Amino acid sequence: MALGLIFRSFSSALGQMTDTRFLRVLIMGVALTFALLVGASSGVLWLVHALIGPAVDLPFLGEVTWLDDLLSGASLLLMLGLSVFLMVPVASAITSLFLDDVAQAVEAQHYPHLPPAASVSFADGLRDTLSFLGVLICANLLALVLYLIFAPFALLIFWTLNGFLLGREYFTLAASRRLGRAEAKRLRSKYIGTIWLAGILMAAPLSIPLVNLFIPILGAATFTHLFHGVHSPQATSG
């Protein structure tokens, strides 16, 4: 039942990609995601250059002066590689910024009978975003120990941990628009298994370069459908 609901929710989100209202938010989300990744990659390159300079002494090789050129030439590959690790916090930020727009587009298409949802204030949204980013970063830093100890299972640990964290945030944001924070948390606790599984299925493609650019917005749409699915099981997508 849980898997069926999750896949129906994702399929409905995917099927709306050609909708003009949804497509506008998707393009904006992908553009901002890409900009954040470029900025992060540039920051890493700058840090490496500042620490080691254009030349570095390597054992048995002496001074290597082409490292700066190598880093410049490999900047695109570096960005793609960094995206595997950076997309989780980026996805959190993008979802927080665009979820209301995504949810409105989803509800206008699939749940037109619903009254307008309450808007989350910018201050509350910013507070929640920063708070969750702190939890996300701290949790992944602590998980580095597990990644090292259980290296063969590092990717599964990464998906499981971040699937749990992202699922909680995606669902809470989607549900809070309709129910308020307290009721959203109660509903989240009731369906935590389904939410966790959906979060893992969102976290896994975040590890795939280029594909991961689309996941934050698609994830926001998927969890909007998921919320309506568990809150009103009799509701069907249009």
Judged by average pLDDT, the poorest of 150-154, 193-197, 206-210, 219-223 is 206-210
The secondary structure of residue 19, as a DSSP letter, is: S
**Number of domains the chain is built from:** 1
pLDDT one-digit tens code per residue, 121-175: 667 767 777 788 788 888 888 888 888 899 899 889 999 999 999 999 999 999 9
The structure tokens listed for 141 are 């830093």
Question: Which residue range is the domain that position 88 belongs to?
Answer: 2-35+83-113+124-231
Residue 75 located in a structural domain: no
Residue 152 located in a structural domain: yes
Q: What percent of the chain has pLDDT over 90?
A: 33
Residue 22 located in a structural domain: yes
Residue 166 located in a structural domain: yes
Query: Is the pLDDT at 232 greater than 60, yes or no?
Result: yes
pLDDT on residue 227 = 96
pLDDT one-digit tens code per residue, 198-218: 999 999 998 888 888 888 899
Residue ranges of E strands in 53-210: 56-58, 62-64
**Coil, helix or strand at residue 234:** coil
Residue 142 located in a structural domain: yes
The structure tokens listed for 90 are 């980026």
Residue 28 located in a structural domain: yes
